[in-house]
Amino acid sequence: MAILFDRRPTLASWPKRVYAWPELPEPFRPALAAWRSQGLPPGNVTYIPRINQYGGSPEFATAWLGDEVLLQTAQGGSVQCLAFRGADVAVMDYYVQLLRCTVTVTLSEARSGLQSSFSYNKTKEDQLFPVLNLAMGNTSDSVPRAGHPDTPALQQLLQDSYAMYNLSKLCYRFGPEIQEFLFWVGRNRGLARLNQPKPEYFVARMERGIACVQKDFYGTRLVCVRWEYLRNFQVVQERGRPILCLESTAGPAARFPLLPEQQAAAAAFLAALPADTRRDGTSKSRI
């Protein structure tokens, strides 16, 4: 059988803001009927075509109205929908590999830990900003802080890792201030990875919860967990190696390897975390 080549221009698979309802493919329209009756403008909808028009990869549509988001995934002749508010999101996982971004939203245990992912070309990420903002618990038009304050700890981070100093600014999507942070450099394992840059990790205590940034040869990952959905954050031993595990009430969120000499710093960071945080931002003790 002859191979079908996708001869579309590169931008044909990029996110497209909808300016008129006929521009949105028909399979995505029924789920938006109720919102349209409430005044949903087409500009609040972004359509993300499949990467290869002949492949079996999914295509997506995102929409927002007020403080609510609707994610739709079309694949194999069916459409899956997930509607939520920022307060429902237990884990937000944002991964960038070259120009490909993948966002995974995991809802709280009260929402049965429902999960949805969508991918898009980062070149047009501005069209997804309202959705990303709302998923992080911000307003749709929120503008994250662009730079770090001039503190001794962050200036030391700049000296230790220029790359992580800049990548850690992703945490400001989850809140306006990094209250405390832990930074460490990992180790490559396996002969095939010896010449690759070493992985780096950054874990921040924010007012809203925990934000983690991981940078390795493959890409950059941001994982955020709200305080009210944080179940466990601890160092465990697996096959004699220490692992920093972040777990939400909806399930595992992230796992970051530590070197033995880094366990003490990780333990000190964990010990300094507030025991509990209410939705209004004040703290109370779990002890």
Nearest to 134 by CA among 72, 223, 66, 73: 66
> pLDDT tens digits for the chain (287 residues)?
555 555 555 677 799 999 999 999 999 999 999 999 999 999 999 999 987 766 778 999 999 999 999 999 999 889 999 999 999 999 999 999 999 999 999 999 999 999 999 999 999 999 999 999 999 999 999 999 999 999 999 999 999 999 999 999 999 999 999 999 999 999 987 655 667 889 999 999 999 999 999 999 999 999 999 999 999 999 999 999 999 999 999 999 999 999 999 999 999 999 999 775 433 333 333 22
Residues 228, 108: Cα–Cα separation, whole Å: 9
Strand partners, 256: 244
Cα–Cα–Cα angle for 279, 283, 287, nearest 5°? Answer: 120
Strand partners, 62: 46, 71
Residues 63, 69: Cα–Cα separation, whole Å: 6
In this prediction, residue 236 carries a pLDDT of: 95
Q: Give the burial string for 119-148 (b: 16+ CB within 10 Å, else e).
A: bbbeebeebbbbbbbbbbbbebeeebeeeb
CA 175 to chain CA mean position, Å: 13
Residues 21, 18: Cα–Cα separation, whole Å: 7
In this prediction, residue 53 carries a pLDDT of: 65
